[in-house]
Amino acid sequence: MQLVRSANVIEGLGIEGDKHASAASKRQVLLADKEALDAVGVPPGTIKENVTVEGVDVMLLPAGSLVRLGRSAVLEITAVCEPCFRMDEIRDGLKQELEGRRGMVSRVVRGGIINVGDPITVERPEPLAS
C-alpha cells in the first residue's frame, strides 16, 4: 500500500495503477472512513482501502449512493466490504474489530483526479416505489 496525495480515478476501471482495478469488478474502489480506522487504532491505508474519507460514515451509505470526490470523480456504492482473514495478518483480532466498519466498495461512474483534502458530497438513491 502506497499513500499518495492525488490519484487518477478511471471511469469503469478504478484507480490508475491499482493492481485490483478491473472493468469487470463492482469493487473498483474501497472507501473507508478515518473515524472507523481511529476506532480500531490503525492509520489510513492499513486495511487496504483505496480512499480514506473524513466526516462521512461510509457504512451508512446504501448501495446506489453516489459519492462525489473533488471536482469530477463520482463513485457508486455497490456493497459492504466484509473484513477477510487478511485483516488478522495485519493484527490478530483485527478482522473481528472491523466487523460492520471495514468500508464500502464502489464502482467508478465518472473519472477524474482526486486529491487529499478534496470535498466529498453524497447523493443517496431515491427509494423504490412500492
Secondary structure in 3-state letters for 90-124: HCCCHHHHCCCCCCEEEEEEECEEEECCCCEEEEC
pLDDT bucket at 108, cuts 50 / 70 / 90: very high
6-123 is a CATH 3.40.50.2300 domain: no
Closest CA to 97 of 53, 29, 37, 27: 37
Residue boundaries of the structural domains of the chain: 6-123
Per-residue pLDDT of 65-90, as tens digits, reads 999 999 999 999 999 999 999 999 99
The answer on pLDDT for 16 being more than 70 is yes
Q: Could you give the CA distance from residue 74 to residue 7 in angstroms, rounded to a whole number?
A: 13
pLDDT of residue 53: 96
Dmax of the chain from CA atoms?
A: 45
Q: Which three cell numbers stand for residue 57?
A: 460514515
What digits encode the pLDDT tens for the residues 18-67?
A: 988 999 998 999 999 999 999 999 999 999 999 999 999 999 999 999 99
- The torsion angle over the Cα atoms of residues 81, 105, 4 and 114, rounded to 10 degrees, is -160
Q: Going by DSSP bridges, is the β-strand pair 6-10/14-15 parallel, antiparallel, or unpaired?
A: antiparallel
Q: pLDDT at position 2, please? A: 81
